[in-house]
Homo-oligomer: A and B are copies of this chain.
Amino acid sequence: MIRSTDNDKLKTIRKLAQKRWRDKLGLFAAEGEDLVEAAERAGWEPRFVLRAGVEVEPELLTAVSALGSGTRAIGVYEQRWAEPAGDLSVWLHAVEDPGNVGAIVRSLHALADGTAILGPACADPYSPKAVRASMGSVFARPPARAGFDELAGMRVALDPSAPRALGAGVEGLAAPLVLCLGAEREGLPAELRERADAEVRIPLRADGPESLNVAMAATIALYELSAALRMAGHA
């Protein structure tokens, strides 16, 4: 049982709260028993797992938690980066909030067969907040990294100002599709929108907010596009 803060495993977990260290070590930490179980189910071998009251004093585990409030287990794993694959993927540009990135990884896993692909200036999907928001889907569907020009398939830009609404706007689309989303306020750069193969918006009320949260928008579009692909006879 670890009873001292001066322990290498605890020090590693503390370091992994920082992107710099995650990049350097190629590792990340998953906090919570449910995430450690999700890793196991997905067949990931941990570097190590610390369970409160088993391998480590509970207070010491709480002290190194990046998320706080009574973590019962923390597992440390090697980062994996996938190659994009599947009929419906999502590509993110400058989505900086780790909670949104993680939520999109989870929604993609629930609704489509493809890969969460990170473009420039996105939050790290292996940050503690992103891993937690993915609820373990990051283990089942490791993310990929790619630029807009490296994307294979039809690139469907989602933007509140697109002339065609999702629904009618998805007719004629064929797999593989890559849904492309930009930052919450700025959206996708105009230059990328112009080069996309299709551009759609989610119909919003005129008296409502200008946009949805980016994870909400991604989730609706994945739901609608996966239904369109099913109708068209794809997986």
Which residues 85-114 of A sit at the B interface, judged by CB distance below 8 A? 99, 103, 106-107, 109-113
Contact partners of A205 in chain B: CB under 8 A = 109-113
Beta-carbon contacts of A196-230 to B below 8 Å, as 1s and 0s?
00000011110111011101100110011001000
Interface size, chain A (Cβ < 8 Å): 32
Q: Which chain B residue shows the least CB distance to A135?
A: B209
A167 CB within 8 Å of chain B: yes
Q: A109-B208, A109-B209 are in contact. Are A202 and B223 (CB under 8 A)?
A: yes
Chain B residue at minimum C-beta to C-beta distance from A224: B223
**Is A136 engaged at the interface, CB distance under 8 Å to the other chain?**
yes
**Max chain B CB contacts within 10 Å: which of A137, A140, A220?**
A220
Are B212 and A107 closer than 8 Å at their CB atoms? Answer: yes
Question: Which B residues are CB-close (under 8 A) to A113?
Answer: 205
**Considering the chains assembled together, what is the distance between the CA atoms of A106 and B216 in angstroms?**
10
Specify which chain B residues have a CB less than 8 angstroms from the CB of A209 in the assembled complex.
Answer: 106, 109-110, 135-137, 140
A86 CB, nearest partner CB in chain B, Å: 11
